[in-house]
């Protein structure tokens, strides 16, 4: 029952899929529930793959990719894009650590946030538009999974940057080696079943890049936040799409 509760919690938190179940949850449920992030990514990827198939019967690749990304933003509520924007607003503000953290928590959107979000969406759109029809289905299915294994891995290898409470604290403090290992096992199985044995080398890239990104983004503030986990998810997705385009 505890696993089902945490899985439903992650679906409610990470997506806008209407699940009207009232759950009594703890901080431990939030952090340890992140192990189900790859499964949530698979559900999102499955919805997007089905939508892409329908759109591809009507629209050319460029229009299809644009509509698909718009649907993806709606399915996630822009949660990770918001984290990406807040991260770039704070880290590239040129301010001291504490001020950076304040800026990241500020609900107002700055220039760096807009630039980061626009650049990531443009990259995703351009790459997806150029991927041949013979491999676009498994790429669309897996890129949300690649993003969420990034958040899970980043949470497991980071420490919390703020001195006080925050939404990211539950994930970063409570997500341990066991959650990362189990999440990686689920991720590898999903990747194998969706993309096949010959493409398994590509599966190594998202976990590795997530650790690198977490280290780079955390360096200025001495740790990670929930916004950084969102930024890692978004950047990981773009990196995965680029490698999928170039290598396969």
The span from the CA of 95 to the CA of 4, in Å, is: 43
The span from the CA of 246 to the CA of 127, in Å, is: 10
How confident is the model at residue 228, as a pLDDT?
96
Contacts 24+ apart (CB under 8 A), 125-129: 125/62, 125/65, 125/66, 125/69, 127/238, 127/241, 127/242, 127/244, 127/245, 128/61, 128/65, 128/68, 128/69, 128/241, 129/61, 129/62, 129/64, 129/65
Averages of pLDDT over runs of 10 residues in the chain (248 residues) are 88 92 82 94 98 96 98 97 96 91 90 97 97 93 97 94 80 91 97 93 96 94 94 98 91
Q: How far is CA 238 from the centre of its chain?
A: 10
How confident is the model at residue 26, as a pLDDT?
81
The span from the CA of 154 to the CA of 166, in Å, is: 16
Beta-strand ranges (E) seen in the chain are none
User: Cα dist. 41→7, 95, 109 in Å?
Assistant: 12, 35, 26
Q: Are 85 and 117 in contact (CB under 8 A)?
A: yes
Overall domain count for the chain: 1
Give the orientation angle of helix 177-195 with respect to helix 205-218, to 10 degrees. Answer: 140
Measured in degrees and rounded to the nearest 5, phi and psi for residue 160 equal -75, 135
pTM for the whole structure: 0.94
How confident is the model at residue 19, as a pLDDT?
87
How confident is the model at residue 170, as a pLDDT?
86
How confident is the model at residue 94, as a pLDDT?
87
Give, rounded to a whole angstrom, the gap between the first and last alpha carbons of the chain: 40
- 3-state SS, 173-193, equals HHCCHHHHHHHHHHHHHHHHH
Domain span including residue 28: 2-247
How confident is the model at residue 47, as a pLDDT?
98
């Amino acid at each position: 029952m505890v696993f089902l509760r945490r899985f439903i919690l992650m679906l409610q938190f990470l997506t806008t899929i209407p699940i009207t179940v009232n759950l009594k949850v703890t901080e431990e449920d939030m952090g340890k529930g992140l192990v189900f992030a790859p499964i949530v990514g698979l559900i999102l990827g499955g919805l997007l793959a089905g939508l892409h198939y329908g759109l591809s019967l009507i629209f050319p690749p460029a229009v299809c990719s644009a509509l698909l990304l718009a649907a993806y933003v709606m399915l996630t509520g822009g949660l990770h894009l918001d984290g990406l924007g807040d991260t770039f607003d704070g880290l590239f503000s040129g301010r001291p650590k504490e001020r950076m953290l304040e800026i990241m928590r500020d609900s107002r959107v700055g220039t760096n946030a807009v630039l980061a979000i626009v650049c990531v969406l443009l990259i995703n759109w351009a790459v997806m538009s150029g991927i041949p029809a013979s491999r676009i289905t498994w790429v669309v299915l897996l890129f949300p999974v690649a993003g969420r294994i990034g958040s899970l891995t980043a949470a497991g290898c980071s420490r919390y940057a703020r001195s006080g409470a925050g939404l990211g604290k539950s994930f970063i403090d409570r997500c341990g080696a066991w959650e990362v290992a189990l999440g990686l096992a689920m991720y590898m199985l999903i990747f194998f079943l969706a993309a096949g044995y010959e493409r398994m080398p590509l599966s190594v890239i998202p976990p590795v890049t997530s650790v690198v990104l977490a280290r780079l983004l955390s360096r200025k503030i001495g740790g990670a936040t929930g916004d950084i986990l969102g930024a890692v998810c978004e950047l990981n997705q773009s990196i995965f799409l680029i490698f999928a385009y170039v290598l396969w």
